Amino acid sequence: MDLHTWLSLRSGIGHRDDAAAAGFSPARVRAAIRGGAVQRIRAKWIALHSAPIELVRAAAAGGALTCVSLARRREWWVPPDDDGTLHLHLPRHESVRDRGVQAHWAKPLGPDRPRSLEASVEDALSHAAQCFPLDQATAIWESAIRAEAIALESLRQVTWRSTAARRVAEHTRGDTGSSLETIFHVRLSGWGVRLRFQVHLAGHDVDFLIGTHLIVQVDGWAHHSTSADRTRDIAHDAELRLRGYTVLRFSYRQIIYDWQSVERILIAAICRGAHLAPVRA
C-alpha cells in the first residue's frame, strides 16, 4: 500500500506516528511532502489535498472536532440557524489561531487521544449542552442516540461534569421519532399537563397526546411529503375527530420559526378544555 492509499482510507489525513507504525519511514513521508503528493499540517499531521477542510483545520489548530461540528460530520441533527462555525476541543495549552473557531477547553470526559481529530461522542454532547438552548441540545443528543445506536441507560451513566449536560441528560429520551418531536416535547415538558408521545389511536400512532383528548401532530417534511402521506393523515384526523379528539397539526417551520404562535394556539386549546374528555349529555 502506498502513502496516498493509506491516507485515503483515513479520510485523507493521518498522524505521522500512525504512518510510521504502518511502515512509512520518516524519509518516505518527507519525500512525499517535497513531491507535493501530501501536505504537512503542523509537525505531526500529513494530509492529501482532498482531505476534508474541517479535519485539516482541526489538525492545524491542534484540536478535535466537537459539539455541532462533530454533529455535522457524523450526520446528527444540527440547529437550522447553525452558522458553520468550527467547534474544536482544544488542549488547555493551545490558543485559538483561527478566527472562525469556537474553542472548548474542558478536560475530556475520557482519556486523551492526541492522534484523533474527532472528540468522543460524550465530549461532543457535553459541549453541545453548553452551546445550545435546552431544546436544541436535547435534539442533538437524541439524534446522536439514533445515529450512533447508543443505549439511553448507557448515556445516563456518564459522569457529566457540567450542570448544562446533566440537565440535558434528564430531558433526553431514547424513543422520540425525530428531532422536531424532541424540541416540541422539551418545550412542553414544564407545562404541568400530561404529555405522551407515539400513542396508538384509531389504527395509527399520533405524535403527542396532551391530557386525554388533545392530539398534536408535528409534520416533519420527510414523513409527510407525498400525496399518499397527506391523504392518510387527513383520513386519520377525521377518524380521531369522530372519536371526540381535538387534532392540531403544526409544520416544521411553525415549530422552529414561529413558536409563539404555536404556543398561543396550544394554550388557547388547553384553556378551553380540549385536552379533556368531552362532556356527554
DSSP H or E stretch at residue 33: helix 26-34
Q: Report which residue type is found at 201.
A: L
Please list the helix, strand and coil fractions of the chain in percent, rounded to the nearest 5, in that order. Answer: 45, 15, 40
Q: Is the pLDDT of residue 222 over 80?
A: no
Determine contact, residues 41/63, Cβ cutoff 8 Å: no
Distances (CA, A) of 157 to 128, 145, 153: 18, 14, 7
Residues of the chain with pLDDT > 70, as a percent, come to: 98
* Domain 179-271 belongs in CATH node 3.40.50.300: no
Tell which residue, 8, 125, 141, 119, has the closest CA to residue 58. 119
- What is the per-residue pLDDT across 139-183, written as a single tens digit (0 to 9) for each? 999 999 999 999 999 999 999 999 999 999 999 988 777 899 999
Please report, for the chain, the start and end positions of each structural domain, with discontinuous segments joined by +.
3-51, 61-171, 179-271
- What is the per-residue pLDDT across 63-79, written as a single tens digit (0 to 9) for each? 999 999 999 999 999 99
